[in-house]
Amino acid sequence: MPLVNMKDMLDHAHANGYAVGAFDLVSLDFLDGILQGAENRRAPVILSLAESHFGYFDFRNIMPAVVAAARRSPIPVAIHLDHGASLDSAVRAINLGCNGIMVDTSNAPLETNIRLTREIVNMARGCGIPVEGELGYVPGVEGEDAERHPGEIAYTTVEEAERFVAETGVDFLAVSIGTVHGHMRGEPVLDFQRLAEINQTLGIPLVIHGGTGLSDEQFRRLIDNGVAKINYYTALADAAGEVIRNHAQDGARGYTALVSGIGDAIRAEVERCIDLWGGTGRADAVLEQAQPWRNLEHVIIYNVEGLDEADTHAMMAEGRRVLSAIPGVLEVVTAQALKEDAAYRYAWLVRFCHPAVVDSYRDHPDHVAFADRRFRPVAGKRISIDYQDVEDSCS
Ligand SMILES: [Zn+2]
């Protein structure tokens, strides 16, 4: 089971004075290393996928592995889209299995940032999915150093943060108080006073991007002042890179020889972070408090009237295409009874990511149009039932 609601997870961290690591993964070695580290520490963990990395792997291909690994894990896990750039990318991530979304339109003017973020929050609400917004500017992008993506740090102000959260409805806020993505020149100077005021004013879990390179003491003070999620990638990438460099210096040539041991290096760094950020041993408490993340199966068995088999298949194909693009739809299966005399000849199985999708799907204009124009006119006798997944719910 232990895919859980990320809001419950981060509320627990925020209330209990620790932070959950959101570790960006770029390969199956990262996936294994991150999960193994969190499992060894019995800690909640966020598997994070950054849109800026999608050139390095196929997001569609890696997500089934990420979801399967999360569901198999004995610790509470959430799967998060990091730095989603648009409504479309947020929908795509949700429909591939992410159950947390970060919207990054923070380099737009405040009004635009509020409008775009609110659009995504509204869509995600209909899918039961929490959203992280960002206010202020943290230089650099995930995996690329601030030295190469410069620009002044734009600090988050208390007044803007208050307005942003009220008007967008985000569940978590990434704040800019002096960190940068990737490596930076010199020592980061963090504005803890500002962070403390934002935390007191908002009272929601805060997020820090650009965690690499901070001192143990800096991490502790961030967490003391409301940071409940820490995004972390560069140090993991460095650890993996060092493994490859060492193998190369030892004369290794082939791919498997070069990458062997990467998972262990990542695991060790993840364990160090979890210990430092206070997550060790928290898994059971989070599992007790967090809602398990269960899918919902929307099932319709039906007969058709006035369509031959080829037309029926064409109608199903259109349904698969149209319905699978609706936010919160993980999968659309169309099927036909083996026996011609079955009481119901055809079936839809539409898998929703969360029970909230029942309502948003029913009212979605693309569903309404398909149902009214293509399905209901030909659907004869039918039965429609929503089923909640029960697998793993009592493990
Ligand atoms: Zn980031």
Task: Check residue 153 and give its pLDDT.
Answer: 78
Task: Check residue 1 and give its pLDDT.
Answer: 63
Task: Check residue 16 and give its pLDDT.
Answer: 98
Residue 184 phi/psi, 5-degree rounding, is -130, 155
The answer to whether the CB of 286 falls within 8 A of the CB of 278 is no
Task: Check residue 151 and give its pLDDT.
Answer: 67
Q: Give CA–CA dist 379/388, Å, rounded.
A: 25
Distance in Å, CA 89 to ligand 1 centroid: 16
Distance in Å, CA 113 to ligand 1 centroid: 16
Distance in Å, CA 324 to ligand 1 centroid: 29
29 is catalytic: no
| Marked catalytic residue, from 8, 32, 82, 104 | 82
Task: Spell out a b/e string for 14-27, using b for 16 or more CB atoms within 10 Å of the CB, else e.
Answer: beeebbbbbbbbbb
Residue 101 phi/psi, 5-degree rounding, is -135, 135
Task: Check residue 147 and give its pLDDT.
Answer: 54
pTM of the model: 0.94
- The token pair that represents 83 in the structure block: 């730095």
Q: Give CA–CA dist 291/374, Å, rounded.
A: 37
Distance in Å, CA 102 to ligand 1 centroid: 9
Q: Can you say whether the dihedral through the CA atoms of 275, 276, 282, 283 is positive or negative?
A: negative
Task: Check residue 141 and give its pLDDT.
Answer: 65
Distance in Å, CA 217 to ligand 1 centroid: 21
CA distance readout (Å), 191 to 186, 219, 232, 287 = 16, 13, 20, 33
Distance in Å, CA 141 to ligand 1 centroid: 6
Task: Check residue 247 and give its pLDDT.
Answer: 98
- The torsion of the CA quartet 233, 199, 12, 273, rounded to 10 degrees, works out to 30
Distance in Å, CA 146 to ligand 1 centroid: 11
Q: Nearest 5°: CA angle at 202, between 199 and 203?
A: 70
The answer to whether the CB of 76 falls within 8 A of the CB of 47 is no
pLDDT in tens, 130-162: 999 999 877 776 655 555 555 677 889 999 999
Distance in Å, CA 154 to ligand 1 centroid: 14
Which residues does the chain have with pLDDT short of 50? 393-395
